[in-house]
Chain A
């Protein structure tokens, strides 16, 4: 099981979409496309995130592997209420667009 510590990569506010793209293309998608691999995205120490950042991080992986497989394989850890709310928004509208 792989763990991505977001604080080390984005600092306390996750908004830089170039960084989201880097995580998405270099880590998230390759890992999700491997059989049996699981991933934890840990937001410990991150105070906030924009919808744009979370979209850039997870929307394409959700499209590629399908939403149910995505949520089976990816777990979000230590998210505060604001970050949780944004992940839920992106997860919900992506599912609405794909279902």
Chain B
């Protein structure tokens, strides 16, 4: 989010003072390069392939394809190459949302880090575009930024139509799939837009494994009235050891998606009598 914010500012207006020991990490992830400024640090750059993807701007389909190509080596180095499907899927869906919905001249900013000791992959995707509320309000009644987050995570709700089943180009399922994959795998998932945020919490041990249609039925925290973020930011951690096979995940999502669409159609078909 900091990186995306800095991109809105002219390089000469940015000043910095590094007080943290992890300052070299910001340099290696390409933060200062992205802002067009010198960090003043000189570090020996290690080969990034297989360990991380530095802050990367994605504006086009071609740039997204290149990013996805670079993700694959991370999994070949880990003991879990079969989890590449889940990761590739999540990055593709969330980043594509930005390219399609965030508005003209908006970039998605993506970075990925692999932590071999904890066998975790952390992904951050941020933009400074229209934000969820403005995007969804085109076709839905959205009362707040938090309501926009809830609707964005609801299967079948898209900013391109109010029809059940979505438009010819969008189903409104990308963020739902992503959040559900995190839910089933007990992974971290966080989304921030406008003045609101939603964070998925790890289910309690005796919780039944389920994929609710309403994201607020998941174990979560949410907050409103936060510092305003013009755009959307998503954070996901994937713990490779506990990640279910991608195909198993898809099978689990099928019934939920089908029922959500059916329910949406029923609601739209219900007409109230008109009295004059």
Q: Interface residues, chain A, CB within 8 Å of chain B?
A: 11, 13, 15-18, 21, 24, 48, 50-52, 55-56, 59-60, 63, 81-82, 85-86, 88-90, 92-94, 96-98
Contact = CB atoms under 8 A, between A and B. Distances in A.
A48 B173 contact: no
B173 to A, nearest CB: 6
Contacts of B257: 89, 92-93
Nearest to B97: A52
Contact of B85 (A18, A82, A89, A92): A82
Contacts of A60: 168
Contact of B171 (A18, A52, A63, A81): A52
B184 interface: no
Contacts of A16: 61, 65
Nearest to B85: A48
B264 interface: yes
11 contacts: A21-B169, A24-B168, A48-B85, A52-B96, A59-B166, A60-B168, A85-B251, A85-B254, A93-B165, A97-B156, A98-B165
Given A17-B100, A50-B93, 10 more contacts: A11-B65, A18-B61, A24-B168, A50-B92, A51-B173, A60-B168, A88-B254, A92-B257, A97-B163, A97-B262
B170 A52 contact: yes
A11 B253 CA distance: 26
B254 A92 contact: yes
B96 A85 contact: no
Contacts of A55: 166, 169-171, 173
B15 to A, nearest CB: 40
Interface of B: 61, 64-65, 68, 85, 88-89, 92-93, 96, 100, 156, 163-166, 168-171, 173-174, 177, 246-247, 250-251, 253-254, 257-262, 264-265
Contacts of B174: 50-52
B254 A59 contact: no
B165 A85 contact: no
A94 B259 CA distance: 11
A13 B257 CA distance: 23
A17 B88 CA distance: 15
A88 B253 CA distance: 11
B93 A48 contact: no
Contacts of A93: 156, 165, 171, 257-258, 260-261
Contacts of A88: 254
Nearest to B65: A16
